[in-house]
Structure formats: C-alpha cells, structure tokens
Amino acid sequence: MATEQRPFQLVVFGASGFTGQFVTEEVAREQVDPERSSRLPWAVAGRSREKLQRVLEKAALKLGRPTLSSEVGIIICDIANPASLDEMAKQATVVLNCVGPFLELMQLKYHEKAADKGVYIIGSSGFDSIPADLGVIYTRNKMNGTLTAVESFLTIHSGPEGLSIHDGTWKSAIYGFGDQSNLRKLRNASNLKPVPLIGPKLKRRWPVSYCRELKGYSIPFMGSDVSVVKRTQRYLYENLEESPVQYAAYVTVGGITSVIKLMFAGLFFLFFVRFGIGRQLLIKFPWFFSFGYFSKQGPTQKQIGAASFTLTFFGQGYSQGIGTDKNKPNIKICTQVKGPEAGYVATPIAMVQAAMTLLNDASDLPQAGGVFTPGAAFSKTKLIDRLNKHGIEFSVISSSEV
C-alpha cells in the first residue's frame, strides 16, 4: 500500500490465473457499487497482454459491462523480472496479489523493511484466513467478558453436482506441507516468547471426533487458519495489550463414509508429500490422489453457484469481575460466519473488501507499516461491516452464562 497519489488505486496482479479472474470480476463489481462516492481507477497485471485482455472481455460479458475493457489499465510484469514488478508497484496504491502467499517467512524477512517504508503487506486475506481470523475477533468483541478459548468448525455446503477445487490450491498445499521442516526451523529461529495462557488449556480433539452441537464428525482443519490466528493473537497481546485467545480449527465431514474417504486421502497425501517424486505424482494426478476433490479444470459455474460455507465458533471465557486464575470459565458463546462458495466467491469478496479497508480506513490501521495478518491489520477497522454488506455475514447464535 502506498499513500502518495498513483495512477491506480488497485492493481490485480496475476489476474489471468484461475483465482485472479474471479478477483478481477469482484473489483469490477466494486467499481460500480452504488455506495461508492468516488472513482476507482484500477488495472490488471500479468505476463501476457492477450490473456489479461481475455479476462477483461470475459468479465465484461458476465457482468453486462461492454465498455469494461476500455476502463481498466493493463500492466505487463513477470515474477522472473523484479524490475517489472517494481514498475507495477509504483503505479498502484494497493496491489491484490493472486500469484503467491505471504506467510511467516515474509514476516521474518520483510516486516522491518516494510515498516520503514510505511508499506502494509497483509497475507492470508482470502477465505484463508479472514473468516477465521476476524471471526475470533468478532467473537471476542461480542462476549460480555474475557474470551479465553475458541474452537471453530468449518462446514462446506454443495449442490447436486458436488464440489471441485482448482488444483492451484492443491499445489499450494503440497508445497506448504513439503516445506514443513523449514517452517519448523524458521519458528525455532525466531525465539519468540510464549504467549501467556489465560484460563484452562484448550484440549485438542482426537483426529476424528464427533461434534454434538453440529451432529457430525470432524477432523482438524489443515489450512493456515490456526497459524494465522495465533500470530494475530500474539500481535494483539504484545502491541495492544489484549488478552490472548487460544484457538483450534476443525472441518466437519458428515457421516462415517466421508470420514473413511478423507482418512485414506489424507494418508495418501501425507505419505507422498514427504518425497520429491511423491510430490510430482500428487501434482500430476490431483483428481486421483484427492479422491475427486481437486481437478485441473476447477469447479463449474453451477458448482460455484450452489456452494457455500458456514464457520461456527464455540467460545468460552469469564464474565466481568471473575478471576481467570483459579475459576472455571463461566460464559459460553456461539457465533457464525456464513458466506458463498469459499474459494472463488468468498475469497475475492474478502480480498477486495480488505483492499477497500486499506484505502478508506487508513487511520484505523496499525500506526506503522509492516507485514501483518488480517486480524492484526484490520481489528480496529470497519472490515467486518463491509463483509456483512457483501455477503460474508457475521452473527451471534447464542451467548449464556454457565
């Protein structure tokens, strides 16, 4: 993010990729939002002018905006050419990066440099992990007391044609799990002090457990949510002196047949991802090794239109005036985040509304720049309100004293 005047407020980098084309469509929707009070000059960026032009033409056709292509700038750049990336960045106030993830290594390497330049780099700003990270903050804000621990359960809903996920997400998981040893070394080298434990320690569930409240089986969620939420809670404790919240994430898998299917898929994945040739096989045959969940084609429009997600949070804590040292938690709260299809509808909405927050709520961001999680960057902003208006809805289901 840059503060001086630049030609484009937003640039979608990697707009011709599978996810990038959906982010492009979402920016085009935001451009004509009736609540907008000013222009939104924006551009798409990538390696091929022809591909970028096709993405804009496709978006124009889908949205009924025949003049869209002439309203949007095109920037040619390539990750193999750092100078071209510099030129792209100089033209943008906010870059929406659809090319690669910004996670813990980015924070370690570039946080101080970004802070010196007043630049905000915010990773995990799609479905992974805005609903989880801001969902925990929302739950904390809605509890009349001190929230100490939260469990979240992700439920993915599909239509009659089932689910499909593009293999780009599959590849990211392969590279992420394949790099676990380096990630452990990185975490050990950072020498971070432990965040204090408030209230009783949150017990981890079995690899397969039954959730009575949701009447279904669940397994641990293998995405980035836990890591992101923990980093956010550390930031809020160390910088804003807020009480840290323990967190665990799970995904519901329905009945026992689904449990068995996912267990086999998980075992295959964890075995093959350990070896170079295994990773090559996983990348080459995503549909086979994921039992049909991932494919090179990705989901159809019908599958996307029929899908949605529900992320349910069960929190516990202490009412005001009750000490956390020796007493048991005496308040429970249940909240939810609901939204449309996670990967290619909710993710673009989350990214674009995060960008709008950067542009419009600058005074509520951390004072200096740096590399942040969504919760660290946006905890004091109106991002949750923006998401509510755009179909990602936060709500309280129940709250009671025990």
**Domains of the chain (ranges plus CATH)?**
8-99 (3.40.50.720), 130-255+297-363+383-401 (no CATH)
pLDDT bucket at 188, cuts 50 / 70 / 90: low
Tokens of 213: 């409240």
Say if CB 117 and CB 138 are below 8 A apart. no
Mean pLDDT to the nearest integer, 25-47: 91
How much is the pLDDT for 165?
78
Tens of pLDDT, residue by residue over 101-128, are 556 677 778 889 999 999 999 999 999 8
Q: Which one, of 206, 130, 146, 196, lies nearest residue 333 by Cα?
A: 146
User: H/E/C letters for each residue in 239-291?
Assistant: HHCCCCCEEEEEEEEECHHHHHHHHHHHHHHHHHCCCHHHHHHHHHCHHHHCC
Strand locations in 18-112, DSSP E? 42-46, 73-76, 92-97
Helix (H) or strand (E) holding 228, with range, is helix 225-240
Tens of pLDDT, residue by residue over 45-101, are 999 999 999 999 999 999 999 999 999 999 999 999 999 999 999 999 999 999 875
Q: How far apart are CA 328 and CA 191, in angstroms?
A: 31
Quote the mean pLDDT of the chain: 89
pLDDT at 242 over 60: yes
Mean pLDDT to the nearest integer, 26-39: 88
Q: How far apart are CA 226 and CA 28, in angstroms?
A: 32
Mean pLDDT to the nearest integer, 270-283: 84
In the chain, pLDDT over 90 holds for what percent of residues?
Answer: 65
Instruction: Please give the C-alpha separations between residue 225 and each of 103, 152, 271, in angstroms, as whole numbers.
Output: 11, 10, 23
Helix (H) or strand (E) holding 339, with range, is strand 331-340
Q: How far apart are CA 396 and CA 334, in angstroms?
A: 6
Mean pLDDT to the nearest integer, 350-379: 95
Q: How far apart are CA 400 and CA 402, in angstroms?
A: 6
Residue 291, SS3?
Answer: coil
Q: How far apart are CA 60 and CA 32, in angstroms?
A: 13
Tokens of 32: 């004509």
Q: How far apart are CA 192 and CA 234, in angstroms?
A: 10
Q: How far apart are CA 370 and CA 25, in angstroms?
A: 28
pLDDT bucket at 326, cuts 50 / 70 / 90: confident
Mean pLDDT to the nearest integer, 228-256: 94
